[in-house]
Amino acid sequence: MAETRRTYCGLCHPRCGLLFHIEDGRAVKVEGDPKHPISRGRICARGTLMIDHLYHPDRLNYPLKRTGERGEGKWERISWDQALDVVAQSLETLRKKYGPETLAFTHGTYRTYHWDGRRFFNLFGSPNMCGANNICMCPSQAVEYTTYGGFAWGDLKKTRCVVLWGSAPSKSNVILLFPAIQERKKAGMKMIVVDPRRTAEAEMADIWLQIRPGTDLALMLGWIRIIIKEGLFDRDFVEKWTVGFDQLRNAASEYTPEKVAAITWLEPNKVIESARFYAENKPAVISWGFGIDKQGLNASQSARARSILRAITGNLDVEGGELLGWSDPVGAIIDFVVMELNEALSKEQRSKQLGAAEYPFFGFPGWEMNLQANKRLPSHYMHPPKANMTSVAHGRAVMEAILTGKPYPVTAMISLASNPLLSLPNTRQTFEALKSLRLYVVSDYYLTPSAALADYVFPAASTVERDELWLSADFCIACPKGVEPLYERRDDYQFWRSLGLRLGQEEYWPWPTVKEAFDHRLAPVGLTFEGLLERNGLFGKRGFRRYEEFGFGTPSGKVEIYSSIFEKLGLRPLPAYQEPLETPENALVKRDYPLVLITGSRFMPMYHSEQRQIRFARKIVADPLVNLHPDVAKNLGLKEGEWVYVVSPRGRIRLKLHLSEAIHPQMADVQHGWWFPERKTSPSEPFGVFESNANILCPDEREFCSPEIGGWPHTALMCRIEKA
């Protein structure tokens, strides 16, 4: 029997609509769903591989228990009940012995529900969830809540000018953002690109600034100085709605075009011209870009400076500008924050969060301050900040606690939808830490290098096998599963709930299925998951300049250019640029490592460390690449396609050389996420995880991290290239 079912792809963030053609119970063809309200029939190369992913022979189908050494690859199949029983028992034993804080979690990017995991951890009593949060979008969220009480979304549909700052959607957001930019550019939108590589976006731009990696904050402060000096700011808005403008004027005064040019490798007149261009083409949007968040030392203050630029130019919450708040009635849907059940975690347990003494802004203290300030706003207009995203333990502190038992023993860890050996920096330390856990539990689609070290591995249902509710500030859509979960795969909600039921959390998991939890969330708008699906999404209506009615969700109710929260926490209340340790400015470093290293620029069809086992994906990108300018290669006597080592002070990895004029001649651009599922696993090296893994090159030591959030660098480091 043949039929077509609506479902969705969640192999990256947008959740595009899919049509699954099913024959005799098996999906045989996938295409975009033209009726999907957001993606409207488009899917990307990764989405077209959904069927390969669903039926892939390497997929985990049953829970596994390790029988050999960690990493040796010896497993025994067991039932869900057996596996959950022993995991729960061991967690209970460890909790009794060391306290609930002995359990940690590693977080990846937004692939699954996440509120359920946070709920489990809050009820279990551990504050120690850590992961990519310190570097990916969450820092920008935390900082923007502190500056103007919410996270701003660029109104691309109506903007006159977009600044793509460290963002390359032609590779990272190919279905929604990039086509929208192309369309708007054709219609006359202006565009500035700030990127060390000549990307597809740079080629389309009116102004392209080929900046030295890691120096964006100096440029932002240079823009601020020019905008103030030339009176290009929005005087009315600044007077009525901001605090700290005069201090800002002072703080920015030293960033003259000449000084900025010397730091950034740009020409002084380009600094001036671009600042004017941004300020004079209103309304304007500065995109969020991971090129900023991944800079380490300056990352959090760059996010601050970006938010200040948006505010002083009068672009906040105007049509075509930087939108704040939720639309009506979408804002009334119960958000994750409520579902996270943060009130369940006691004050005492919160105070044990690892890393929060060093980075209080990104732990409970900072989150609580943002939460408090948010209370002045109605929640249907501005949801409170998510603890799940902006109050986390620091990865380094967690790994150190595992290895040293200090300040207390961390003996157990769960990794769900995350592959820490590939995504976190300082891979060797992560490896040693994972190996020395008493209990390591992983839930994944495949047996990754991290999973290879686990005691128990649980098989996760993929998006086409589970329902999801997808919520943004302006819409909410129901994403239905297309097939029942195959074999014994289960959705992540079932994982957390089943574990919670075994650990005394019965009364807090009243919804047997995730769909029922979604019904609960939708109740305030009078809908159910099925009802929402039937009406093909709920779309809100938004007003503009709503701060005139509500104010801003900050301690003063205004945009805090000078941050009172940062000041209270002993952090710089106004941004200032700092030269990182490892830069071409440091002659000693430069002698041995002459090239600036950036890692992780997105490429299709891979998503982080995924798709390495999908044959068709490996046909497109077979091997890990380092991109280099042809002149640099020539000087080194290296040719296209040759294997080379990329060496940083922390180690070396092997990659294939790809020559490209798009790369600045003083830098190297290394892909991230590489491991080799086709290889054997061994206790010393699961699936070749040390061979080409960019994070061998990336540090997490204190002096490399941002002092506000502890964000570590995946870019703006130094390296050299050698023949392999």
Ligand X SMILES: Nc1nc2c(c(=O)[nH]1)N[C@H]1C(S)=C(S)[C@@H](COP(=O)(O)OP(=O)(O)OC[C@H]3O[C@@H](n4cnc5c(=O)[nH]c(N)nc54)[C@H](O)[C@@H]3O)O[C@H]1N2
Q: Which residues bind ligand X (CB under 6 A)?
A: 12, 108-109, 111-112, 132, 135-136, 165-169, 171-173, 194-197, 199, 211, 213-214, 216, 289-291, 294-295, 416-419, 422-423, 443-446, 448, 460, 492, 598-604, 606-610, 672-673, 694-695, 698, 714-716
Question: Residue 452 Cβ, how far from ligand X at the closest point, in Å?
Answer: 11
Token pair of 109, please? 């990017």
Question: Residue 465 Cβ, how far from ligand SF4 at the closest point, in Å?
Answer: 15
Q: How far apart are CA 473 and CA 551, in angstroms?
A: 18
Residue whose CB is less far from ligand SF4, 541 or 619: 619
- Please enumerate in sequence order all residues whose Cβ is within 8 A of that of 657, keeping only pairs 6 or more positions apart, or say none: 625, 626, 628, 633, 638, 639, 640, 641, 642, 643, 644, 721
430 binds, among ligand SF4, ligand X, Mo ion, none (CB under 5 to 8 A by kind): none
Question: Residue 46 Cβ, how far from ligand SF4 at the closest point, in Å?
Answer: 4
Task: Provide the sign of the torsion angle of the four alpha carbons 274, 279, 281, 285, taken in this order.
Answer: positive
175 binds, among Mo ion, ligand SF4, ligand X, none (CB under 5 to 8 A by kind): ligand SF4
610 binds, among ligand X, Mo ion, ligand SF4, none (CB under 5 to 8 A by kind): ligand X
- Residue 508, judged by CB atoms within 10 A of its CB (0-12, 13-18, 19+), counts as middle
Question: Residue 444 Cβ, how far from ligand X at the closest point, in Å?
Answer: 5
Residue whose CB is less far from Mo ion, 15 or 352: 15
Residue 312 is classified by DSSP as H
Residue whose CB is less far from ligand X, 369 or 416: 416
Q: Which stretch binds Mo ion (CB under 5 A): 108-116, 231-239, 476-484, 545-553?
A: 108-116
Question: Residue 47 Cβ, how far from ligand X at the closest point, in Å?
Answer: 11
Return the residue of 48, 61, 109, 556 that touches Mo ion, per CB under 5 A: 109
Q: How far apart are CA 218 and CA 262, in angstroms?
A: 10
15 binds, among Mo ion, ligand SF4, ligand X, none (CB under 5 to 8 A by kind): ligand SF4
Q: Which stretch binds Mo ion (CB under 5 A): 2-10, 128-136, 369-377, 558-566?
A: 128-136
Residue whose CB is less far from Mo ion, 109 or 682: 109
Q: Which residue is nearest to ligand X (CB)?
A: 600
Residue whose CB is less far from ligand X, 707 or 711: 711
Q: Which residue is nearest to Mo ion (CB)?
A: 136
Residue whose CB is less far from Mo ion, 134 or 349: 134
Question: Residue 598 Cβ, how far from ligand X at the closest point, in Å?
Answer: 4
Q: How far apart are CA 477 and CA 115, in angstroms?
A: 17
714 binds, among ligand X, ligand SF4, Mo ion, none (CB under 5 to 8 A by kind): ligand X
Residue whose CB is less far from Mo ion, 107 or 225: 107
Q: At what angle do helices 245-252 and 216-229 cross, to 10 degrees?
A: 120
43 binds, among Mo ion, ligand X, ligand SF4, none (CB under 5 to 8 A by kind): ligand SF4
Question: Residue 379 Cβ, how far from ligand X at the closest point, in Å?
Answer: 27
Nearest alpha-carbon partner for 153 in 144, 279, 378: 144
Q: Does 48 bind Mo ion (CB under 5 A)?
A: no
386 binds, among ligand SF4, ligand X, Mo ion, none (CB under 5 to 8 A by kind): none
Token pair of 534, please? 């039937």
CB 555 within 8 A of CB 680: no
Residue 110 is classified by DSSP as S
> CA separation (Å) from 15 to 279, 494, 519?
34, 21, 19
Beta bridge partners of 100: none
Q: Does 389 bind Mo ion (CB under 5 A)?
A: no
Residue reference for tokens 């295409």: 31
Q: How far apart are CA 303 and CA 310, in angstroms?
A: 11
Residue whose CB is less far from ligand SF4, 15 or 270: 15
CB 582 within 8 A of CB 720: no
E strand or H helix at 29, and its extent?
strand 26-32
Residue whose CB is less far from ligand SF4, 17 or 283: 17
Local structure of 368: helix, strand or coil: helix
Residue whose CB is less far from ligand SF4, 363 or 605: 605
Residues in contact with Mo ion, counted by CB under 5 A, come to a total of: 2
Local structure of 442: helix, strand or coil: strand
Question: Residue 60 Cβ, how far from ligand SF4 at the closest point, in Å?
Answer: 20
- Please enumerate in sequence order all residues whose Cβ is within 8 A of that of 175, keeping only pairs 6 or more positions apart, or say none: 14, 16, 39, 42, 43, 44, 47
Residue whose CB is less far from ligand X, 143 or 243: 143
Binding site for ligand SF4 (CB under 6 A): 9, 11-12, 14-16, 43-44, 46-47, 174-175
Token pair of 530, please? 């099925």
Token pair of 41, please? 């029939």
Q: Does 136 bind Mo ion (CB under 5 A)?
A: yes
Q: In what order do the strands lie in the sheet with 468-471?
A: 468-471, 475-479, 538-539
Residue whose CB is less far from ligand X, 195 or 234: 195
Number of helical (H) and strand (E) elements in the chain, helices listed first: 29, 27
Our CA angle for 167, 168, 170, nearest 5°, is: 150
199 binds, among ligand SF4, Mo ion, ligand X, none (CB under 5 to 8 A by kind): ligand X
E strand or H helix at 20, and its extent?
strand 17-23
Local structure of 654: helix, strand or coil: strand
575 binds, among ligand SF4, ligand X, Mo ion, none (CB under 5 to 8 A by kind): none
Question: At 28, which amino acid appears?
Answer: V
Question: Residue 427 Cβ, how far from ligand X at the closest point, in Å?
Answer: 9
Binding site for Mo ion (CB under 5 A): 109, 136
